[in-house]
Chains A and B, each alone.
Chain A
Amino acid sequence: MSDPVPVEGRRSVASRLDSYVDRYAARTHGMSASEIRSLFAVASRPEVVSLAGGMPSVAALPLDVIGERLHELVLKHGQQALQYGSGQGDEGLRGHIVEVMRLVGIHAHPDDVVVTVGSQQALDLITRIFVDPGDVVLAEAPSYVGALGTFRSYQAEVVHVALDDDGLVPSALREALEALQRAGRRVKFLYTIPNFQNPAGVTLSPVRRAEVLRICQDADVLVIEDDPYGLLGFDGEPPRALRADDQDGVIYLGSFSKTFAPGLRVGWALAPHAVREKLVLAAEASVLCPPALSQAAVSSYLETHDWLGQVKVFRELYRERCDAMLTALTDLFPDGCSWTQPRGGFYVWLTLPTGVDARAMLPRAVTERVAYVPGTAFYADGFGSRSMRLSYCYPTPERIREGVRRLAGVVEAELGLLATFGPAHSTGRLDLGSPNPDLA
């Protein structure tokens, strides 16, 4: 090899390392790499206690039984299960879904059900058929990060509505609608997760359910009710769905991801007839049909297994983990922090003392081998810097306590920095992009 030889006399060539850069649609704005997302790569390592991801505990499933059923399924019904299917979804499965929805008070016909690739696809299809760029979508504050990503990708303007321990605050909803009306803005829909909400873990009270429906009916605003966790309550009967009391004003989204298996990617939408027709056309344009094998697997599971017994197993497992987290937080967390008390689902929403920025703190947490999702991920408007979502669904109770212990130390250190430098000023950048950190 030679000693230093500068390159001389060569014409400089420009490159962006992306030859498509001037061809992307405007809706790709914001789809970029981020520091925070890079930290989630570390969170997936076993040394790290991840309180970030929203992964169901599929280890609790009877995998041997499911394996046998899948084997039988392919042997006996392989020609159907491995073939294209209906864009609306398998009729038999839609019948089962109708039975599942009866548990939350919904009486529907299989014709009004559209099977989707997880309820995430239902959300995408609904946004596609209702939202033009600049349209307003209402969502709880905070709201599901995957929904916000979908709304952003269709260039919707998300207006958040306050949430408290009893769920969406009706007076805040009314005020938001009035303010938007005064501004001449049309609201396309309200997106809400009434049960064991992601990320806040709270549930809309029965009184408020009626009030929220009435407000939306008065304002002629469609409600998108996303209910992946409804059957995973720790106490008694599942909460009654909003859709049970309003057939025309509510589109209901359901999922088998938390009650059975997220890897199958089977969810559904229950919509009024006219909307359902458009959803089917949009779904066919998107994926032709939902996966036939996954649908057949779900049907087989529902038909041959005590699936409600398995849901009970999940409920008890998540209750134990939730208790472990709440106890550890009470025992180990410093003064000045507060958190929600979920009665179902996967998540605790934790609020830090004023001035602490959960996003800025995440690298320190990862160094200490614990991960969470900063609150800013759940807002479209830069709020949430003092908050974080903690998931208890995946780690064991022992790991949860260890994770909370580590996190408490991180918060103590951050409080030390706060005392030294004063309140941090969050950048308010929304850089989680998609896919969402539930996969972390």
Chain B
Amino acid sequence: MSAGGGVAGRVLVLAGGLSHERDVSIRSGRRVMEALRDVGVEVELRDLDAALLPDLAANPPAVVLPMLHGTAGEDGTLATLLELHGLPYVGTGPAACRAAFDKPTAGSLLAAAGLSVPRTLTLPQNLFRDLGSRAVLQAVVADIGFPLVVRPARGGSALGCSIVRDWEGLPSAMVSCFAYGDDAIVQPYVAGTEVAVCLVDDGSGVQVLPPVEIVPDGGFYDYTARYTAGATEFFVPARLDDGLTAGLVDAAVQAHRVLRLRHLTRVDCIVDEAGVPWVLEVNTAPGMTETSMFPLAVDAAGLRLGSLLTGLVGRLVPDAREPAGAR
């Protein structure tokens, strides 16, 4: 058995990469590495580069724990490669990653399952060029109205995301959004209580961590509010009554199941004035930085991040006490 913490062998934490969220990923990776070391697990932190695949083949770790946010990490690419190498990893499988990462696809699947998802218009950059921006935006505004939210169809950390309250701000919001990708989505702005629900699922059942309520100082949970310590106030558990909390948690767990996710999931929601939990986004590689909500929820549940992760990792590693192939 094991180097420590109930895990046999080395855990490779992957962080960094070349996505726009590299900085966040590095911080998540470091935090996770420390948490695992604290519980005695042998752990290595590594960036993504051209030497990764040969290294994995030459010196395979017991388990890979990807902490890559954005493209390559969350779009299923890395999961595909790890499966090709026959390496166990923490996180959702390739197909489910792809579906969850693409907000229009995820939204459609969730809406079809009966969850409340803001109406979503997906707008490729070419559409504006071919049909004229004014005409397209007029149609969009006629359908969605102000205030509305513009954001990239793929990617996280609120990068390229804007709340638009009038015509004047709309072209800039579109330009900022298209700087992060070729497809934008436009949704109505949902006012209410912003809450993140973090879930842990080792295959035997879903564990729901205390929902985290988000109150950013500036009113908008943008990149600065997310990653500047002190710029956002969190309430754990969220200040919702039991009925609303139950509805919120049900929605989050359903989203996790509909999208066929596993291990670590964060579902971002807004509970509106009528008590409806709107699912905004589902994250398959939730942030683990010092200002991220997942570790906050873990603490609030009275758990240790290292122990929680060790539990997930331990189930993926062929254990000396179990017959070969038991995993």
Q: Tell me, in angstroms, the Cα distance from A107 to B267 when the chains sit together.
A: 67
| Given A16-B230, A33-B227: A5 and B208 interface contact (C-beta under 8 Å) | yes
Q: Tell me, in angstroms, the Cα distance from A279 to B207 when the chains sit together.
A: 60
Q: Is the CB of A361 within 8 A of B179?
A: yes
CB neighbours of B83 from chain A (8 A)? none
| Given A15-B296, A33-B223: A363 and B20 interface contact (C-beta under 8 Å) | yes
CB neighbours of B233 from chain A (8 A)? 14-16
CB neighbours of B228 from chain A (8 A)? 32-33
CB neighbours of B296 from chain A (8 A)? 15, 17
Q: Please tell me if A285 contacts chain B, counting CB pairs below 8 Å.
A: no
Q: Is the CB of B250 within 8 A of A39?
A: no
Please tell me the number of chain B residues within 8 Å of chain A, measured between CB atoms.
Answer: 64
- Measured CB to CB, the nearest residue on chain A to B254 is A4
Q: Please tell me if A2 contacts chain B, counting CB pairs below 8 Å.
A: yes
| Given A6-B246, A363-B20: A13 and B175 interface contact (C-beta under 8 Å) | no
Q: Is the CB of B249 within 8 A of A6?
A: yes
Which residues of B, 121-150, contact A by the 8 Å Cβ criterion?
125, 128-129, 133
Q: Please tell me if B236 contacts chain A, counting CB pairs below 8 Å.
A: yes
CB neighbours of A425 from chain B (8 A)? 168-169, 171-172
| Given A6-B208, A12-B237, A420-B128: A17 and B300 interface contact (C-beta under 8 Å) | no
Q: Is the CB of A33 within 8 A of B206?
A: no
Picked from B133, B205, B235, the residue with its CB within 8 Å of the CB of A421 is B133
Q: Tell me, in angstroms, the Cα distance from A48 to B22 when the chains sit together.
A: 13
| Given A360-B175, A360-B176, A363-B180: A18 and B229 interface contact (C-beta under 8 Å) | yes
1/0 contact string of A366-407 vs chain B (CB within 8 Å): 110100000000000000000000000000000000000000
Q: Tell me, in angstroms, the Cα distance from A20 to B175 when the chains sit together.
A: 37
| Given A42-B18, A42-B22, A421-B174: A10 and B202 interface contact (C-beta under 8 Å) | no
CB neighbours of B24 from chain A (8 A)? 38
CB neighbours of B172 from chain A (8 A)? 357, 360, 424-425, 427
CB neighbours of A8 from chain B (8 A)? 242, 245
1/0 contact string of B3-35 vs chain A (CB within 8 Å): 000000000000000111111101000000000
Residues of B within 8 A of A (CB): 18-24, 26, 125, 128-129, 133, 157, 159-160, 168-169, 171-172, 174-176, 178-180, 200-202, 204-208, 210-211, 213, 223-224, 226-239, 242, 245-246, 248-250, 253, 290-291, 296, 300-301
Report 30 cross-chain contacts, Cβ distance below 8 Å, ordered by A residue: A2-B205, A3-B205, A4-B208, A4-B253, A6-B245, A6-B249, A7-B210, A8-B242, A8-B245, A10-B210, A12-B235, A12-B237, A13-B300, A16-B233, A17-B234, A17-B290, A33-B224, A38-B20, A38-B21, A38-B22, A42-B19, A42-B20, A45-B22, A362-B179, A364-B180, A366-B20, A417-B175, A417-B178, A421-B128, A425-B172
